[in-house]
Amino acid sequence: MSLPLKCSLCAEVATVHLSQVVGGKVTKVHLCEACAGKGGAVDPAVFQLADALHAPGPPAELTCPQCGFTDVDFRKRGRLGCPACWEIFGGALSPLLVKVQHESAHVGRAPLGVAPLGQLRQRLAAARTAMAAAITAEDYEVAARLRDEIAGLEAALNPA
């Protein structure tokens, strides 16, 4: 039996083996559990990101005016530079968001003092569906109550 491979970064026994093919050349990296964890290689969520990010891409086209972060930086790091980056790179990130999050819009809570519009939109959609069902079922009492709720939510979402 051959000796166990050692981690490329420290002397521990390697248990994670990665092969990367760049331009037809195969590079093999052997890592121990701890070093692989640090690099995110054993976390499926991060690794999926790396797949998307490490595809060879064009030179930087977008730069965040607030922090100087570019789309090339994002391809390297998989993390953004600052909150304003989301506005700059948001459009380009959309397919990635759908890939890792399956959705592209927030529906949860908002900080105090900020209207939780996502929640309101979700409630509005639910109320409209429920009203249609109530009308089909000829339950006009429920439908009337939902109509009022819908009017209230619409007013909150589109203040005059």
Nearest in space to 92 (alpha carbons), one of 69, 126, 125, 116: 69
* 3-class DSSP assignment, residue 16: strand
What are the tokens at 58?
């064009």
* 44 lies in the binding site for other proteins (CB under 8 A): yes
Residue whose CB is less far from other proteins, 20 or 104: 104
Distance, CA of 44 to CA of 92 (rounded, Å):
22
| C-beta separation of 32 from 12 below 8 A | yes
Does 129 bind other proteins (CB under 8 A)? Our answer is no
The dihedral region occupied by 43, where left means phi > 0, alpha psi between -120 and 50, and beta the remainder, is beta
Q: Is 159 in the site for other proteins (CB under 8 A)?
A: no
Taking the complex as a whole, how short is the minimal distance between the CB of residue 75 and other proteins, in angstroms? 13
Note whether 20 binds other proteins by CB under 8 A.
Answer: no
54 belongs to the binding site for other proteins (CB under 8 A):
no
Stretch that binds other proteins, among 17-25, 69-77, 129-137, 146-154 (CB under 8 A): 69-77
Quickly tell me which residue has 């092969």 as its tokens: 19
Residue 13 interacting with other proteins (CB under 8 A) = no
Binding flag, residue 32, other proteins (CB under 8 A): no
- Asked if 101 interacts with other proteins (CB under 8 A), we say yes
Of the listed pieces 2-10, 18-26, 108-116, 128-136, which binds other proteins according to CB under 8 A?
108-116
Range 58-62, long-range pairs (CB < 8 A, 24+ positions) = 62/88, 62/89, 62/92
**CA quadruple 40, 46, 48, 49: dihedral sign:** negative
Interface with other proteins by CB under 8 A: which residues?
Answer: 33-34, 36-38, 40, 42-46, 49, 66-67, 69, 73, 77-84, 86-87, 90, 93, 96-97, 100-114, 117-119, 122
